[in-house]
Each structure stands twice: as C-alpha cells, then as structure tokens.
Structure 1
Amino acid sequence: MSEDDFESWMWAEAMRRQERADRIQRQFFRRVEARQRKQWEPPVDVFETSEAIYVIVALPGVSDRSLTDLEVAGDTLYVAGNRGVPTPTGDALLHRLEIPHGHFERRVVLPWPRLVITGHELADGCLYLTLAKR
C-alpha cells in the first residue's frame, strides 16, 4: 500500500468513526419535538432484585434543586426537571454545545406495580433511585 493510499484510508476510517460516534451520541440523548414542553429525555438503566427496583437516570449537570418532579404512579416512574446551560467564568466563546439542556422529562414503565421511592441520590452526573417493592 502506498503512503498516499494509506493516508486516504486513515482519513476515511477517521471520518467513519466520527460519524458512528455522532450517531451513538444522538441515540444516547434523544431529542424530542420542539413544540412539546420537554426538550430532551435522559437515558435510564433499570435493575431488579428480589427486594427492590434500582433506576439510574443520566442527568449531567443537574442538581437536586433542578429536579421538579420525581414520582411513581402505578407502574410508571416520572422524572422531570431542568438543566441549564453552564456558563464559564470570564469571556468565553461557545464552539460546541452537545450536552442537552433545557426542560427534560422521562417516563419509564417499570417491571413491577405498586413501587415506592425509598431513596434517591444525585452523584457523578446520575440520579440513583431505589424503589421498594410492596
């Protein structure tokens, strides 16, 4: 393979990987229609043990006071809040804004009816919920 062919292959491979990374990022933080109240839906992981359901909601940059709603109704968990755009100190130019911001809502149908939230903690950019089975 000549040096020119190798360089062309490297650039093509880099572009293919960048396109794949962009596609994965779009899937991770699904945007919703602008005409709706919510602007984005955070991704969730759900785990079940014999005693409880554990839910992890990815909420980068969201504080406890930014959560506006956290409830379970029947078999559905509802999480809502707001993530503001972080503003760095000083004079900063915005070059890229990929992390979703604005109002978020997420409804998750859980694998067990009649759950009650017994604990929640925001840490490392995630909301960790414990829902006890009744």
Structure 2
Amino acid sequence: MADGNPRNWMWSDAIEMLSRAERMHRDVFSPRATRAQPTWEPPVDVIETDDKILIFIALPGVPPENVEAMIEDGTIVIKGRRVLPPQLRTATIHRLELPQGRFERRIALPPGRYDRVGTATSDGCLLISLHKAI
C-alpha cells in the first residue's frame, strides 16, 4: 500500500493473482517428456467416500474411447489423446489453450482393495469410481 489508495493496492493484488493463476495453468498443462513422447497432464479431483474413491479427470472434447485407465502398483494411470476435430484442421486458429496430443496422468490411490470399477462422463469430465472391497 505504497500511496495509501486502496484502489491501487487492490489492482496490484489482482494482477499478482492473475499472474500466479497463469503460472499454475502453464505448470498443469506443460508438456512432460515420458517414453520419448511429450504429454500433458489433465487436472484431476480425487474424492473418497465411505464406500468408494471418485476420480474426476477434466477432459473436455475427448471421447471416452480415446481414454485408457489401468491400475499399476497402487497407482491409477489415465492416458489417451486429444485431437483437433477434422473441421478445425484447416481453420485459422486465433487462440488455442486446450492442450492437444497425447496425455497421461498417474495418481497414487489411497491404500485399499477395490472390487468394481465404474466409468462415466459428465460435463467434460471422465469419472472413474473405484468401489472399496469389504
């Protein structure tokens, strides 16, 4: 608050928050080099209830048949590919923020055993539900 004017320090705080959000966006969607192919990582939410683990993966525009999910050593691996729709391949693109190409995300699962796996899509997200074995 250099000059005491709340408008100036609020604007400064807003600019700083936008800058921080931009850095976080770049970190989440920056390409990762794995197995000689660059990939990007979709954001996820992992939620645990009494009887299941719910994993929401943000994949707008990715059809479910372009996604693989498997459990390896207590980690769920989600991978696939997002491609531009054919009608956009010859279009002039003015801004392209949704990452394209190969993606892969590895998420450590909470300890436990799971006897059923369900998948669904909703609002641009893939939902994976792992039902806890009793």
Equivalent residues, number: 128
Q: 2-side partners of 1:91 and 1:102: how far apart? A: 17
* Equivalence for 2:45: 45
Q: 2-side partners of 1:124 and 1:25: how far apart? A: 20
**What is the deviation of 1:81?**
0.8
Structure 1: runs of 5+ lacking an equivalent: 1-8
5 Å matches for 1:1-134?
A: 16=16, 18-33=18-33, 36-67=36-67, 69-88=68-87, 92-134=91-133
Partners of 1:39 and 1:104 within 8 A in 2? yes
Q: 2-side partners of 1:28 and 1:121: how far apart? A: 23
* Segment drifting more, 55-64 vs 37-46: 37-46
The letter of the residue matching 1:108 is I
**What is the deviation of 1:51?**
0.9
**What is the deviation of 1:113?**
3.1
**What is the deviation of 1:127?**
0.7
Structure 2: runs of 5+ lacking an equivalent: 1-8
**Root-mean-square deviation over aligned CA pairs:** 3.1
Cα gap change, 1:53 to 1:89, in 2 (>3 Å):
closer
